[in-house]
Structure 1
Amino acid sequence: MNKEILERAKNIFNNQEFLSFVDMKLESIEEKKAIISCENKKELSQGLGYMHGGMVAAILDTAGGFAAFTVVPSNCHIITSELKINYMRPVISKKVFGIGEVISQGKKLIVVEATLKDENENMLAKMMATMFVIENSN
């Protein structure tokens, strides 16, 4: 993988206020794959004490988006066009991992999947998404 893209991805990840706010971490990134982690804190829970589904979606969307980011030219960015998530188990573990992978790539659309797992590798949720490639206007 192009080292420039890797460094650019790390910089973009580290400069996103939301990701910092919810304490997501970029565990690893390589061509067509990204792994994001997040601690399951009380502030991220819903009424029953499980991690909120919106937070699960954010982790999976981020993992899929950064996987897609690894296959676009350096003058491009990625935004989510659509996504679908299956929530399989309530998130009660202390830490979760979103593993995003590129399934298919075109010039403007990249299809990704992402899986949310706990520390024991149990699958908690699965996402399929389409990412849209945007060229910088600079």
Structure 2
Amino acid sequence: MMTTLGAELVELGDGTARIDAPILPGSLQQHGYGHAALTFAIGDSAAGYAALTMMGEDAEVLTAEMKINLLRPCAGERLIARGRVIKPGRRIVVVQASVHTVSDGTEIEIALLQGTMVPV
């Protein structure tokens, strides 16, 4: 899905991850804004990759639950999702992500996500 959206993992750190994605014409909703599904997808993925940085090399995670607050319409040239681990654990990992639009070099926060990842 990330390939379809044109998303790219651009940064990984201890408990952090960043994903950038263009707002493509096929990702727009009926009012011309980026669809909430695009915002959710890259936020969820950034949070998941952040969780993976806290685990062993062969680990994988699945999202058990994720909540999103859409703060503003998704208007701009591209999106930046920054995921981070709030609380690591062996059975669950609590994560958070913020998603920003970028337009003319200016970032505006448009969404906050919080959820739980489960190691598999």
- Which TM-score tier does this pair reach, normalised by the shorter chain? over 0.9
Structure 2 contact 43–81 (Cα < 8 Å) conserved: yes
Q: Which runs of 4+ in 1 moved over 6 A?
A: none
Give the Å deviation of 1:41: 1.1
1:43 corresponds to which residue?
26
- Equivalent-residue separation in structure 1 for 2:84 and 2:6 (angstroms): 21
One-letter amino acid of the counterpart of residue 92, structure 1: A
1:72 corresponds to which residue?
55
TM-score by length of 2: 0.94
Structure 2 contact 5–24 (Cα < 8 Å) conserved: no
- Structure 2: gaps spanning 5 or more residues: none
Aligned pairs for 1:81-92 within 5 A: 81-92=64-75
* Structure whose residues are more often helix by fraction: 1
- Structure 1: gaps spanning 5 or more residues: 1-17
Work out which structure has the larger RCO, using CA pairs closer than 8 Å and 6 or more positions apart in sequence.
2
1:125 corresponds to which residue?
111
Secondary structure of 1:124's partner? strand
Give the Å deviation of 1:121: 2.4
* Structure whose residues are more often strand by fraction: 2
Task: Give the share of equivalent positions with the same residue, in percent.
Answer: 28
- Equivalent-residue separation in structure 2 for 1:98 and 1:77 (angstroms): 20
1:11 corresponds to which residue?
none
Aligned pairs for 1:8-27 within 5 A: 18-27=1-10
Match of 2:41 among 58, 68, 77: 58
Give the Å deviation of 1:74: 1.7
Larger Rg: 1 or 2? 1
2:93 corresponds to which residue?
110
- Equivalent-residue separation in structure 1 for 2:33 and 2:75 (angstroms): 6
Structure 2 contact 71–110 (Cα < 8 Å) conserved: yes
